A and B are shown apart, each in its own frame.
Chain A
Amino acid sequence: MIPPTFDYLRPTTLDEALRMLPDAGEDAKVLAGGQSLMPLLRLRLAYPDALVDLDRVDELRAIRDDGDAIVIGATATHHQVMHDPLVREHAPLVARATATVADPAVRHRGTFGGSLAHADPAGDLPAVALALDAVMLARSASGGDREIPARDFFVDWMTTALEPDELLTGVRVPKLGAGWGFHYEKFHRTAQAWAIVGVACAVRRVQGAVEDVRIGLTNMGATPVRATAVEERLGGSTLSDGTLREASAYAGEGTEPPSDLHGSSEYRSHLVQVLTRRALNAASAR
């Protein structure tokens, strides 16, 4: 790998990292596993002045119980997340979706927070964060702590609401207990390939009727999006085959899916309907 030249900063505490970030310049990038950033550097598609590597900031790695939620540290690796007992118990959708990320080598280096802050709409975890109504925990040296709901976090293609001097420190994922069902339905051509379309959903039913349903879509536009048109149609329903089929037909509403080598926009618009139906089916079977 021959990336362009850059300064390399390696803080060992969060405070040090927060101090370094503003000084590293506007074109500095945060390195949190590097499984997306390094390929960009290798291909010389990114020319950062400096990299601030969070690898040695151990305090960002922890996954902890936070009452009615769990907090996943920003640099917890995918491998760590998918095997973590708290995640498996309280946020099984995260564990399930994380297990579909790339391959074991990537999952051992790539991080949960890195993946969210990278905000690639083809990434699996942003849609999951949306479906779970997760809250991004950000901190800067100047502004202190800030909480950003997932639905406000992804503002454009690979762009988040984080300020240049702000770090994502962790993600608060609400515990969704009894009555909730989850699923992540990922469609890709090979096991290691990006999702052509992915559907993350969480459904809560009371006595068979839908009380709450949230659907996050992967790779259906510049940002991960909620399939609100489907969500609206399912409230109070019993998720019968007919209802599901009817509602899922609206999964692409309001989306602007890309066309690329792996699928046309038209194909994605079709796929998202099928995958939404399947995701909801699987979620309601749990």
Chain B
Amino acid sequence: MTEIGQARPRSEDARLVTGRTRWTDNITPAGTLHVAYLRSPHAHARIDRVDVEAAKARPNVVAVLSGADFAAEQGALPCAWQVTEDMKLPAHPPMAVDEVRYVGEPVACVVARDRYSAVDALEDIDVDYTPLPTVVDMERAIEDGADLVHSDLGTNASYTWVFEQGDLDAALRDAPVLLERRFVQQRLIPTAMEPRAVLCEPDGSGPNTDFTLYSATQIPHILRLMLSVVTEIPEHRIRVVAPDVGGGFGSKLQVYGEEVLALLLARRLGRPVKWTESRSEGNMAVHHGRDQIQKVTLAAERDGRIRGLKVELLADMGAYLMLVTPGVPLLGAFMFNGIYKMDAYSFTCTGVFTNKTPTDAYRGAGRPEATFAIERLMDELAAELGVDPVEVRRRNWIAHEEFPFETIAGLTYDTGNYEAATEKALALFEYDKLRAEQNDRRESGDPVQLGIGVSTYTEMCGLAPSRVLGSLSYGAGGWEHASVRVLPTGKVEVVTGSSAHGQGHETAWAQIAADRLGVPFDDVRVLHGDTAVSPKGMDTYGSRSLAVGGVALYRACDKVVDKARTIAAHLLEASEDDLEFSAGRFSVRGVGDAGLSIQEITQAAFAAHNLPDGLEPSLDSDATHDPDNFSFPHGTHLCAVEIDTETGFTKIRKYVAVDDVGNVVNPLIVEGQVHGGLAQGIAQALYEEAVYDADGNLTTTTMADYLVPSAADLPSFTTDRTETPAAGNPLGVKGVGEAGTIASTPAVVNAIVDGLRPFGVRDVPMPCTPERVWNALREGGDR
């Protein structure tokens, strides 16, 4: 069978795109109560008094509760990543009790018989606040005498984490070329299409109550464990269901206060409770992404070869550390070196508290930031030396014959072929032709200038080897689980612990099972996202589903085939060694038509009338896969922009992405992931930014202010692939969920800076809005 590699349209799409499915908000058991949250209008304030009496008296209101009402039972939201021994980890109550530390933090809630009554009653809750000094700026936050987000900690620095390899001082000393740059990774709002929603349904009473919690989450398994830890409700009494989930991009890789509170409210009231956020509420209360200030120093020889790289980061944690907040920037520590060889590397990161929404994982999580810095630097180096930016990369990258290669950051890149991807990209892009056009426009003084940007990225994904996670002090492992159930009629149910929220698992996993078992694609059903159905799993993030979960399924399928072989040999009275398995059928090598289909063996296993002695009558299997290494997709992205120098408007003229994500199970899904990833990375370069004012108010609470581009704003992408199989897994797959996002941001900004270089411009802060480009032109021109 060759199901693997087929460009099958996704079987889940019809129900997802029509919305005729089970989103959490579509599920309303009889008697459901509706929750609405009152959120802090202050970035930092003491809560002096919360008066809920008037709100309680409103029609249809069942309960009005403030943080004090939950104080004894709400525990603290978890942070699973103690990145240093002395990391400052402030208590993070699901609902604020004494003090609020960011605009949008929950302060009280109304539970009512309908959603309208709940929201209306919020207006009658009276809260007295005493405003406290607000910390907004990361750099000022760590100055002596700065106001504090958490006064009891005595500092706004949560941790400082250091990694050093090689002699950086020697590399910097007398370096023929020394580039120092400061890049700002603006704060982003993940903006999944489906806002968060939680429904908790209690069953029973007293300590034996069972709770079913539906949530628009990426992580039903981790959430179940964490809810149990936080609330002390026994884990086996909690079932978490992630029904169809409309995107996450990391924002639903979280344990949110509203999830904990849903459980507590359901317990307290003995009725189902539901909460669905609005977009503007979500913009304030869903964790944000990025937000780093990067000071980078690159030392190189005159011929362009890199000597060493020094990275000093400030990473904005926001007001609290959430599930993996402190670890996100550190994922970048292993990526600042990119695909390049160098002798010395130093990385220092300080996590800083501010009175803003907490940050955490957002598509790429630490790796886009790192990739941006090194890819921007490579273009800067090329400009400094007067060498083509592709050529300067060629002089530094790991040659394909050098793999496996241990990098300066301590990772071992298993495979890769940067030369092949780059050659293909250059040809598709018609690089030389565009350079010639750029030259013409420069010479003629065309008001519309052309810029060309390069990004030869790699990334570490397939999170992750459990032992490596342990060495980084992460609180859990990175394995994944799958099981295969072969039903009596020969149909197959696949259960995966990887929790799809738009990625297309139901199609890709069915392809793997169909391929390995030799059954028709339509005979496979994929089950996921419910801890009662899929008891084990580490869920979906970090481009891990296929490279970890898909491989677990591959292994589970092999176990089915192995057992079927034993039964087939018994029934065919042949030696197992003489059996061939092909297209779902066992046959005896060299013996004409004799053979058995996997369905016939299934029936034999089900009847159990005639099985080998001691063999269990079942073909079902389980497998848990824990990889030895990350996987390392890579690729070359080239972007051409047209810059209107009169207005500063940037238009992407051409975008070529050649990605190497290893072997491909479904090319359509891969292409879709690349397109979406590019859109999100381009969005960081050109459009999106979460903006806070000096008082810590988020000013981009609606989509009129937080600009998410649509198809109308993006070019037609040219995508292609090279396929260098990953060495670390039998499928040879790497992961594609984040690659486009990681690669595209620097490609676009490099293109803009390239276009403006003749005007004296060498950087434009992101997002490169028309006004910022116009300002850069004015300032550059003055130089």
Contacts and interface: CB of A to CB of B under 8 A. Distances in A.
A4 B120 contact: yes
A189 B687 contact: yes
A189 B120 contact: no
Interface string A186-228: 0101111110100000000000000000000000000000000
B707 A2 contact: no
Contacts of B280: 43
Given A2-B119, A43-B280, A264 B771 contact: yes
Interface residues of chain A: helix, strand, loop or mixed (majority): loop
Interface residues on A, range: 20 to 34
A271 B646 CA distance: 8
A5 B702 CA distance: 22
Given A43-B702, A261-B700, A270 B774 contact: yes
Contact of A190 (B36, B691, B707): B707
B707 A193 contact: yes
A64 interface: no
A96 B742 CA distance: 38
A261 B772 CA distance: 12
Contacts of B710: 103, 190-192
A155 B280 CA distance: 31
A174 B646 CA distance: 34
Contacts of A189: 687, 707, 769-770
Chain B interface mostly helix, strand, loop or mixed?
A: loop
Interface string A255-271: 00000011110010011
Interface string A1-35: 01011000000000000000000000000000000
A274 interface: yes
B712 A192 contact: yes
B752 to A, nearest CB: 14
Contacts of B278: 2, 42
A7 to B, nearest CB: 15
Contacts of B713: 190-191
A191 B712 contact: yes
Contact of A267 (B36, B691, B712, B771): B771
B95 to A, nearest CB: 20
Contacts of B163: none
Interface in A27-62: 39, 42-43
A222 B649 CA distance: 25
A281 B649 CA distance: 19
A50 B343 CA distance: 72
Contacts of A270: 774
B196 interface: no
A263 B771 contact: yes
Contacts of B700: 261
A212 B646 CA distance: 27
Contacts of B712: 103, 190-192
B774 A267 contact: yes
B39 to A, nearest CB: 13
A5 B120 contact: yes
A21 B604 CA distance: 79
Contacts of A187: 647, 649, 770
B643 to A, nearest CB: 14
B687 A190 contact: yes
B705 interface: yes
A261 B119 contact: no
A2 to B, nearest CB: 4
Given A191-B710, A191-B713, A261-B705, A274 B647 contact: yes
A43 to B, nearest CB: 7
Nearest to A187: B647
B305 interface: no
B704 interface: yes
A191 B709 CA distance: 8
Contacts of A192: 710, 712
B456 to A, nearest CB: 29
Contacts of B708: 190
A270 B774 CA distance: 10
Given A2-B116, A187-B647, A274-B647, A262 B769 contact: yes
Contact of A271 (B119, B647, B699): B647
Given A2-B115, A4-B120, A274-B646, A193 B704 contact: yes
Contacts of A190: 687, 707-710, 712-713
A275 B647 CA distance: 9
A120 to B, nearest CB: 11
B647 A194 contact: no
Nearest to B700: A261
A212 B8 CA distance: 61
Interface in B638-652: 646-647, 649
Interface string B118-129: 011000000000
Given A2-B119, A187-B647, A192-B710, A261 B771 contact: no
A52 to B, nearest CB: 21
A45 to B, nearest CB: 11
A259 B482 CA distance: 55
Nearest to B280: A43
A191 B713 CA distance: 6
Contacts of A264: 771
A187 B644 CA distance: 12
Interface in B695-750: 699-700, 702, 704-705, 707-710, 712-713
Interface string B758-783: 00000000000111001000000000
A4 B704 CA distance: 21
B509 to A, nearest CB: 34
Contacts of B691: 261
A216 B771 CA distance: 22
Nearest to A192: B710
Interface in B569-600: none
Contacts of A196: 770
A159 to B, nearest CB: 21
A187 B36 CA distance: 39
Contacts of A39: 702, 704
A191 B711 CA distance: 9
A274 B649 CA distance: 12
Interface string B301-341: 00000000000000000000000000000000000000000
A261 B699 contact: yes
Interface in A226-277: 261-264, 267, 270-271, 274-275
A270 B713 CA distance: 23
B704 A194 contact: yes
A187 B702 CA distance: 20
A191 B646 CA distance: 19
A206 to B, nearest CB: 30
Contacts of B709: 190
Contacts of A267: 770-771, 774
Contacts of A262: 769, 771
Nearest to B707: A190
A261 B770 CA distance: 12
A225 to B, nearest CB: 20
A262 B706 CA distance: 10
B440 to A, nearest CB: 22
Contacts of A261: 691, 699-700, 705
A44 B770 CA distance: 31
Contacts of A275: 647
B56 to A, nearest CB: 18
6 contacts: A4-B120, A39-B704, A190-B707, A263-B771, A267-B770, A271-B647
Interface of A: 2, 4-5, 39, 42-43, 103, 187, 189-194, 196, 261-264, 267, 270-271, 274-275
Given A5-B120, A196-B770, A267-B774, 7 more contacts: A4-B120, A42-B278, A189-B770, A190-B708, A191-B712, A194-B704, A263-B771
Kindly list the 10 A-B residue pairs having the minimum CB-CB distance in the complex, ordered from nearest.
Answer: A191-B712, A2-B119, A267-B771, A274-B646, A190-B713, A190-B707, A263-B771, A261-B705, A190-B709, A191-B713
Interface of B: 36, 115-116, 119-120, 278, 280, 646-647, 649, 687, 691, 699-700, 702, 704-705, 707-710, 712-713, 769-771, 774
